[in-house]
Structure 1
């Protein structure tokens, strides 16, 4: 992967970890405003996960890079996103748009981090759907 620089929020933590990965997935947006995107189609998504914290775990990691990849890449790579339980088709807030996929990725990561002893925080998910279109999701939870 080509090295990229992502916008990063200011934060008070000692450590900041960034994990890049890509995955291929298909989706459709079942809403008339989506135009052609109402049809099933695919993307090669590029993602960056930013995690920060002050304490390392017993192995010296803020969080293991492999864990992040396992949680997200293994779940979404070569899948139809609409079929994932996190994307029920009843509401526009859950259609697998890039915005919603980024939010769901954050939720999956943060749910895992909340169960760890050192409790790092996911600061943002950067998700590129096409070479010219991307979303950044940053929670407004006051975690920082």
Structure 2
């Protein structure tokens, strides 16, 4: 049996600021992100298996992405940990806000790289992460493909 790609889509709201940037995105603002996660594998052929015919149960994929990405980033504000906004970040955290201090500038490009690393660690060994698409706006997105990262 051949490989099949399956995709599950997620959405979450996240704020961020790009320190040192020369445009409006240097200010704290937010996006309604859409994340498409595509995995690849062979459907289960064992007729006694409860998930016969599936590459991975969508529910299992949802659990991984929800725990690693959505639950962490939804309604959070992401700052580079080296940002001059650190005082603001600390103030927000002291007031109970969900703030992520990332090791990277929180662009869509860097976020999709981070997400790929997190998801790959949680997938069953027979399932590979094929691609991610992180849509920041209706017309702007970053994509990650395993084939580009061999």
Q: TM-score range by the shorter chain?
A: 0.7 to 0.9
In structure 2, runs of 5+ residues without a counterpart are: 80-98
Is 1:29 the counterpart of 2:18? The answer is: yes
Q: Which of 126, 129, 141 does residue 134 from structure 1 map onto?
A: 141
User: Whose Rg is larger?
Assistant: 2
Greater strand fraction, Structure 1 or Structure 2: 2
Contact 1:55-1:120 within 8 A present in 2 as well: no
TM-superposed deviation, 1:59: 5.1
Structure-1 residue corresponding to 2:33: 45
Structure-1 residue corresponding to 2:115: 105
Greater helix fraction, Structure 1 or Structure 2: 2
Structure-1 residue corresponding to 2:70: 73
- How far apart in 1 are the matches of 2:7 and 2:145? 14
Q: TM-score, normalised by structure 1?
A: 0.72
- How far apart in 2 are the matches of 1:15 and 1:124? 13
CA RMSD in angstroms, aligned pairs only: 2.4
Equivalences, count: 121
Is 1:84 the counterpart of 2:81? The answer is: no
Provide the secondary structure at the position in 1 that maps to 2:32. strand
